[in-house]
Amino acid sequence: MVRLLPLLLLAPLLGCTRLFFQPDRWLHHAPQVLKVRFEPVRFASADGTMLSGYWFPSTGTALGTVVHFHGNGQNVTSHYTLSYWLAAEGFNVFAFDYRGYGDSEGVPGMKGAVQDGAAALRWASEKPGVDAAKLAVFGQSLGAALGLAAIQESGLPVRAVVLEGSFLTYRSIGRAVLRKNVITWPFQWLPYLVVTGRRTPAEMVRRLPPCRLLFVHGEDDEIVPLSEGQRLFALAPEPKSFLRTPGGHLDAFSTYRSMYGAKLTAFLKEAMLP
């Protein structure tokens, strides 16, 4: 947490990139180890930046397609484990990396990441055999914010949106982080000066096309306070539901998947009904 202070002070020079994007190029979990079907994917963002990801085809006839927007750290090889299992439940899953992450080209940044998310949605919707009318977005932490913005950017309809560990605005989560530490507490006003106030989850969630919404949040989330997700939920249009789970940040479908995986599957299946 202490390391966040110098980043905030430098944010005007860094374009806030280091605050929200912390990628690496390591291979964390090779999908071959899972012994499930998958395809490595290369696709282009709107500006030609080449991106990478994994396609996990549905076991049997697909009920729909889930595009997974992962969180801000590491890369897709440390995040796809939170979504690939949906393939066994009847859904295609496309997990991808934003620019600057993993094998994706480019330098990370907010505008580019939103373009990348829109490109991922278009790629999934245009893949042969995919029913473009049955798309779902699964966004986690920063990926929840990017997923909401990418839906607007792409202009594509989606049936369902799942937001786990989501926050209200980039400024509010910056302030929440600073308030947790006695050393950084006096600087909690800084995000309102140096962090972008544009294309926030609070703005994007109110502009969603008609779809079903599921919010998931750990009651002991140490990264994004539960109150952040609750405040965003209050702004979201109906139909919506809020799943409060035990544990910390993004634990629902990792530590507690045996308890909550079925709830996510049931939500997605219902959303895909005519």
Look at residue 138 in the predicted model and tell me its pLDDT: 99
In order along its 274 residues, the chain shows pLDDT tens digits of 334 444 444 444 344 556 789 999 999 999 999 999 999 999 999 999 999 999 999 999 999 999 999 999 999 999 999 999 999 999 999 999 999 999 999 999 999 999 999 999 999 999 999 999 999 999 999 999 999 999 999 999 999 999 999 999 988 887 666 666 656 556 665 666 666 667 899 999 999 999 999 999 999 999 999 999 999 999 999 999 999 999 999 999 999 999 999 999 999 999 999 8
pTM: 0.91
| Torsion angles phi and psi, residue 88, rounded to 5 | -75, -15
pLDDT for residue 190? 63
- Give the pLDDT of residue 199: 84
SS3 47: coil
Q: Which residues, in sequence order, are bridge partners of residue 50?
A: 44
Q: Which helix (H) or strand (E) holds 215?
A: strand 212-218
Q: Give φ, ψ of 164 to 5 degrees.
A: -110, 130
CA 156 to chain centre: 17
User: Domains along the chain?
Assistant: 16-164+196-271 (3.40.50.1820)
Residue from 196, 194, 214 nearest 266 by CA: 214
